[in-house]
Amino acid sequence: MATDKVSIHGAWVSRWVFILAATGSAVGLGNIWKFPYMTGMYGGGAFVAMYLVCIALIGVPIMLAETLIGRRGRQSPVNSMKALAAESGGSKLWPLAAVIGMVAALLILSFYSVVAGWSLDYIIGMGRGDFSGISPQGAGEAFGGLTSDPWRLTLWHTLFMVFTGFVIAKGVVAGLERSLRIMMPMLFVLLLMLLGYSLTTGHFMDGVRFLFHFDSSKVQEGILAAMGHAFFTLSVGVGSIMVYGSYMPKKSSIGATVLTVGLLDTVVALTAGLALFPIVFAAGLEPSGGPGLMFVTLPIAFGNIAFGQIAGLVFFVLVALAAWSSSISMLEPAVAYFVERTGRSRAVVTSTLAFFCWLVGMGTVLSFNVGADAKFFVFANDGFHLFQWGAEGGKNFFEGIDYLTSRLLLPLGGLSFALFAGWVMTREAVRDELSISSPVLFNVALWLIRVVAPIGVLIVFVAELTK
């Protein structure tokens, strides 16, 4: 198969644009919101250490696998896997992994858009000064007021989905590449501004202590969480990185590129933690987990310290940007596939798929208010129900989709991609794509993809399901 061909959708001008795009995908709500509070919850430094190991042994190898499959296939994830399975005589079922990934990415987008929409609402709120001098109770009510209002949620969800569709519809170079060249530097500048602000609060060392104190009693609880998070934060397992890999120029080393993305993602997560916790402590608050940290605790903090309103505005613009550069990577695999399959224009395919995601997202919108009683995956005394209205346990629509995707579909996808690159593609094909000159390093990379990452995934997978 000719490996120097170019995807019909376009190509990045250099590997730097791939780094920009993959980092844009990776850096998102996972880094700014989830990582800081998980670190606080699971023993600080102990968690950070485990997380780094998981990134290196599982996340980066799967990212390598996705990138090299994409770059060799030069098509949407589904068609790339089809072509490569045919090239190496592998089973025709392999592309199914990319189909599942593509659907998972659309499902993630459906709720990601709703949560990202909250940050748009908070940009307005911060700009208007709604939070200045706010009490904890007031902040709780403000958040409750937002989530209990289906119309307001729908407005922001719709707007965010339109933003996402807009970039994708314009294409790989005119849409993605051009926006990412603006979004990503802005994101870094905003993050540094926030870090600078946090240094002036006088509580910087409290933040450092909170993030890095070593509580070894929590190591066991934290290891699974660290592995799961390594997946989510690097955006692997659904084909987002694969589709970006298919636009990568041939003459660039995948290994170094992917390592850079993993490193940047980690640096952003740590910086976000270092920027946020001192602000929380400066306001005399305790860091909390869950959505409360970002949408209740931080607004109280911003509302009660000097120049907090400006810092708060910067923060929510940062969150919205990070979410935007991630959301486009969830839509791209499916758009590339349906453009290839139907021959229709990007604009038509994008609008159709964005509408579908929007519709599914309405389930999430309603799960916070009028549809809170619609429960899925209910384990009750009389057995298991996939759906039950008003059940005690179970998960609402939002929690259900989050669970289905991050606990089941992502690990399954990541496992399949690693096995495919490691065992189905020929050694020569992998060597040709990775172009690592040192035989020792090549073997290390190959065995990470073949054995270490799959075993890692299986451990998390089984442990999560039997929990």
Smallest distance, Å, CB 317 to ligand TRP? 16
Contact between 367 and ligand TRP (CB under 6 A)?
Answer: no
Contact between 115 and ligand TRP (CB under 6 A)?
Answer: no
Contact between 26 and ligand TRP (CB under 6 A)?
Answer: yes
Site string for ligand TRP, 261-300 (x = CB under 6 A): ----------------------------------------
Smallest distance, Å, CB 392 to ligand TRP? 30
Stretch that binds ligand TRP, among 41-49, 208-216, 232-240, 249-257 (CB under 6 A): 232-240
Residues that bind ligand TRP (rule: CB under 6 A) add up to a total of 18
Smallest distance, Å, CB 33 to ligand TRP? 8
Separation of CA 246 from chain center: 19
Q: Do 465 and 411 meet the contact criterion of CB atoms below 8 Å apart?
A: no
Q: Which is nearer to ligand TRP, 29 or 449 (CB)?
A: 29
Footprint on residues 403-422 left by ligand TRP (CB under 6 A): 410
Site string for ligand TRP, 320-349 (x = CB under 6 A): ------x--xx-------------------
Stretch that binds ligand TRP, among 16-24, 47-55, 236-244, 296-304 (CB under 6 A): 236-244
Stretch that binds ligand TRP, among 5-13, 21-29, 119-127, 146-154 (CB under 6 A): 21-29
Contact between 436 and ligand TRP (CB under 6 A)?
Answer: no
Helix runs in 42-149, H state only: 45-54, 60-73, 77-87, 95-128, 136-147
SS3 of residue 435 by DSSP: coil
Contact between 65 and ligand TRP (CB under 6 A)?
Answer: no
Q: Do 413 and 97 meet the contact criterion of CB atoms below 8 Å apart?
A: yes
Out of 7, 31, 266, 416, point to the residue binding ligand TRP (CB under 6 A).
31
Task: Check residue 44 and report its DSSP letter.
Answer: B
SS3 of residue 339 by DSSP: helix
Longest dimension (CA), the chain: 66
Q: What is the rounded CA–CA span in Å between residue 101 and residue 242?
A: 10
Out of 50, 107, 238, 445, point to the residue binding ligand TRP (CB under 6 A).
238
Looking at this protein, which amino acid is placed at residue 270? L
Helix axes 219-234, 453-465, angle to 10 degrees: 120
Q: What is the rounded CA–CA span in Å between residue 160 and residue 30?
A: 18
**Pair type for strands 374-380 and 383-389:** antiparallel
Smallest distance, Å, CB 388 to ligand TRP? 28
Smallest distance, Å, CB 237 to ligand TRP? 6
Q: What is the rounded CA–CA span in Å between residue 117 and residue 157?
A: 5
Smallest distance, Å, CB 8 to ligand TRP? 23
Contact between 232 and ligand TRP (CB under 6 A)?
Answer: yes
Smallest distance, Å, CB 409 to ligand TRP? 9
Q: Which is nearer to ligand TRP, 105 or 258 (CB)?
A: 105
Q: What is the rounded CA–CA span in Å between residue 14 and residue 33?
A: 31
Contact between 108 and ligand TRP (CB under 6 A)?
Answer: yes
User: Which residues have C-beta within 8 Å of that of residue 387, sequence separation ≥ 6?
Assistant: 374, 375, 376, 378
Which of 87, 51, 100 lies closest to 218, judged by CA? 51
Q: What is the dihedral of CA 47, 456, 322, 421, to 10 degrees?
A: 160
Contact between 25 and ligand TRP (CB under 6 A)?
Answer: yes
How many CB atoms within 10 Å of residue 77? Answer: 33
Smallest distance, Å, CB 233 to ligand TRP? 4
Number of H helices, E strands in the chain: 23, 2
- C-alpha distances in angstroms, 467 versus 28, 232, 377, 428, 464? 27, 19, 15, 40, 5
Phi, psi of 369 (to 5 degrees): -140, -100
Q: Which is nearer to ligand TRP, 20 or 330 (CB)?
A: 330
Contact between 28 and ligand TRP (CB under 6 A)?
Answer: yes
Partners of 383 in the beta sheet? 380
Q: What is the rounded CA–CA span in Å between residue 181 and residue 253?
A: 21
Smallest distance, Å, CB 406 to ligand TRP? 7
Q: Which is nearer to ligand TRP, 163 or 232 (CB)?
A: 232
Q: What is the rounded CA–CA span in Å between residue 229 and residue 35?
A: 8
Contact between 233 and ligand TRP (CB under 6 A)?
Answer: yes
Out of 235, 271, 297, 309, point to the residue binding ligand TRP (CB under 6 A).
235
Stretch that binds ligand TRP, among 26-34, 195-203, 337-345, 434-442 (CB under 6 A): 26-34
Q: Which is nearer to ligand TRP, 29 or 55 (CB)?
A: 29
Task: Give the number of residues written for the chain.
Answer: 467
The residue ranges that bind ligand TRP (CB under 6 A) are 25-26, 28-31, 105, 108, 232-233, 235, 237-238, 240, 326, 329-330, 410
